[in-house]
Structure 1
Amino acid sequence: AVKKKSPVNITFTEFARKSIISADKSKSTKENLMSTVRLLERFRSGLTFEDLSYTFLKDFEAWLKELGKNQNTTGKHLRQLRTLTNEAINDGYMPADAYPFRKFKIKIQKAQKPFLTPDELSRLERLRLDDLRQQHILDAFLFCCYTGLRFSDFRTLTASNIVPINRKKWLCLKMQKTNLEIKLPLELLFEGKALNIIDRYDSIEQMASIPINADTNKILSEIAEKSKIKKHFTFHTARHTCATLLIHKGVAITTVQKLLGHTSVKTTEIYSEVLSSTIVKDLKAVKKKKNVNKFQSKTVL
């Protein structure tokens, strides 16, 4: 059993801050954990280890909802609190039998992953913008539609990420969020359209040099207006679009999992919702096949 440390002169939130700072985690993960710590401090100043109970979790959950946080955002903060609580137990600040999440169920709603349909993607591909800044953001967004890269990974791209394998250009990089390496055959993904975008720039570094996420998304909304796409989308929609369209092109879900760098195929399965256009196409194909079979039967007779 882990011997409990004496948490003299240290609150749970102080411990959490120190734990986050020293953790071997990505910058974005640390920022997310810190956002939960800030909420905890607002909810209960001087939160102690003994304060963490099933009742506290119920009260914190209710307070987050009163702040206007939706079910999934509330769930995210509770999951991050659970991570920090586990760290406290592992470091001996709390006894394992005081674990408050044993009977507490974190509720989530199945999130809809917004994506662009083939028609909407075609509209963006045909769009030509006089504003060079907007055209650059559009190119970056389309590149990520063709490769499935996250915003953070796109901005780190350099010439060294393009690697020749069997005389073909592959995009190879280690993803910031998961530290997993992905290898993408650019000529085989979406007819090599990502390579065409690279060719428009003096260097990959120039192509990857775009503003921070918030500013980029603001420009994307201007582009959406010009393309007459009514749907609200952000830069991350490009990743969802890539995954969804690959699955509906018939690419095996396990292959899409590898291309996107998902650690679990369950994450990829979220994208296997059927496009309405795919339903119509598939049903028409069945009808056409039946008609051909009828004609062949009559001919034989």
Structure 2
Amino acid sequence: MAKVKLKLDQRKNCMRPDGTFPLVLSLSHNSKTRTISLKQYLQPKQWDQSNLTPIDIPYHKAIGIRLRAKLSKAESLIEELKFELSQMSISVLKTKIEAELLSNESTTVSQKTSFVTRKTNTASLTDYSMRKVQRFRDSSKHGSADAIETAIRSLERFTNTHNIKFAEIDLTFLKDFCAFCYARGNKPNTVGAYLRQVKALYNEAIEEGLINEEVYPFRKFKMPKSPKTKNRALRITDIDKLRSLDLKPHSAIWNARNYFLFMFNNMGLNFIDLVQLKKSQLIQTEYDSDGNLISGRIRYSRSKTQKAFSIKMTDESISILNSYEIDTKNEDDFLFPMRYENSEQGRKRYRQQRKRVNRKMRELAKLAHIDEELTTYYARHSWATIAKRKMIPVSLISEGLGHSNLKTTQIYLDSFDDDALDDANASIVES
């Protein structure tokens, strides 16, 4: 007689890098065993085998119900097939159980969708989101567009449909969606990011009169609580270690250090903005008789917010630019040996480029004996954190920069002239 159990597969070869193991249906038949993955991963301390339920994880009750339902479905199928089992291999039985579990999930979604279509509001969240994405694309706000697309794709995986209605999403839907995401191994930060995009779409659709407030599902829903993100910042002593490294000029790792220091020197410039800088964005420049840049400002608009900046170049910024022979470049040339193209293919190349630079930055950290997984974003956090430690007034640089509220920081920066910002910037980077 075939048997099936729900358990945490703690074999050594099943352990993932984060120390978790897969939850599986363990199938035994004719003295052979097979496992069926349930796409849920837990640490041993997070699984209660006696009650067949997760513990100490978000939505553990809902996840437990789903897991036990799958076990029950497998047991029921084995009972239905009891007269055929003697002639059936374990591989065939496993395939039938997997098909039954998949069929059950699709049926549940189909029944739910059928119920939803009877509701009065038939506006499509999917269609509305795609229009929003296109507006962002047209405005070159590709990061915002990508965030919406990623959130909608996660909803489509959950519902198994490509046309999600606003009215379909209620409190129960949101809770089930969270359980679905956690079962796939998503972290609270990720699930929260998905739901914030959906919530924003609802708010805008209500403001535009597309849907009624009655269908708003977030009033009683508690967004996933995210653990406090580790402050990705270096101390000035660590930055000095990077400066002192003896690196081969124009090597990939030498470039990576220059990128980091240039971003740090320019108020935590984002990497996406760094790669787009051109010589034409250098203003009020002065050169010596040998063609070396000796002073000037950088003018650019931040890609994420379109906020305009004009930053006085520090000595270190000038030195970095001179190392790339800035005097020989044309006005339309990029400042650094990276090219950015505002197209789908160009954005793909940018993401690949950022990955390569981040790998080199991690190598830099090891060479400098800095115990951090260094990335491009550390430059921004480091600038903000050092500003805080130096008691730079909150009116110039708020704690929110790079932490929880970048928008507030930009609002504060808007109210001050360039001279005040230049003095604050010089105080930070010329320590």
- What TM-score results when the alignment is normalised by the length of structure 2? 0.54
Q: 1:133 aligns with which of 244, 247, 252?
A: 252
- For residue 237 of structure 1, what is the aligned residue in structure 2? 378
Residues 162 and 169, structure 1, Cα contact 8 Å, conserved in 2: yes
Unaligned runs of 5+ in 1: 269-301
Deviation at 1:256, TM superposition (A): 2.4
Query: What is aligned with 2:193?
Result: 76
Q: Deviations over 1:137-190 (max 9, x none)?
A: 111111112221001111111123222299962222110001111222223xxx
- The 2-side partners of 1:6 and 1:100 are apart by 13
Q: Give me the whole-angstrom Cα distance separating, in 1, the residues matched to 2:277 and 2:135.
A: 27
Cα distance in 1 for partners of 2:201, 2:261 equals 38
- The corresponding residue for 1:149 is 269
Distance in 2 (CA, whole Å) between partners of 1:142 and 1:31 is 28
**2:54 — aligned with what?**
none
Deviation at 1:236, TM superposition (A): 0.6
Alpha-carbon distance in 2 for matches of 1:251, 1:185: 18
Compare 128-137 and 205-214 and name the one that shifted more.
205-214
Deviation at 1:134, TM superposition (A): 1.2
Q: Distance in 2 between matches of 1:125 and 1:70?
A: 36
Q: Is residue 2:317 matched to residue 1:194? A: yes
Give the drift of 1:227.
Answer: 2.0
Contact persistence 2:166–2:215 (CA under 8 A) = no
Structure 1 residue matching 2:407: 3-state secondary structure: coil
Q: In the alignment, does 2:140 pair up with 1:20?
A: no
2:334 corresponds in structure 1 to 205
**What is the distance in 2 between the residues matched to 1:125 and 1:93?**
55
Name stretches of at least 5 consecutive residues in structure 2 with no aligned partner: 1-119, 287-293, 327-332, 340-349, 413-431
Using the size of structure 1 for normalisation, the TM-score is 0.76
Measure, in 2, the Cα distance between the counterparts of 1:13 and 1:208: 39
Question: Between Structure 1 and Structure 2, whose CA radius of gyration is higher?
Answer: 2
Partner of 1:61: 178
The counterpart of 1:179, out of the listed 306, 313, 321, is 306
CA-to-aligned-CA distance 1:202-256 (integer Å, 9 cap, x gap): 2372426276211211121222222222211211111111111122223222212
Distance between the aligned counterparts of 1:31 and 1:22, measured in 2? 12
* Alpha-carbon contact 1:155-1:209 (below 8 Å) kept: yes
Structure 1 residue 102: Cα displacement: 1.6
Q: 1:263 aligns with which of 389, 407, 424?
A: 407
Structure 1 residue aligned with 2:49: none
CA separation of 1:256/1:199 partners in 2, compared to 1, >3 Å: closer, same or farther?
farther
Q: How far apart are the structure 1 equivalents of 2:278 and 2:410?
A: 31
Percent identical across equivalent pairs? Answer: 26
Letter in 1 for 2:296: K
State the secondary structure of the residue aligned to 1:229: coil
Instruction: Choose between structure 1 and 2: higher strand proportion.
Output: 2
The reply on whether 1:86 has 2:203 as its aligned counterpart is yes
Q: 1:30 aligns with which of 131, 142, 145?
A: 145
- The number of equivalent residue pairs is 257
Structure with more relative contact order (C-alpha pairs < 8 Å, separation 6 or more)? 1
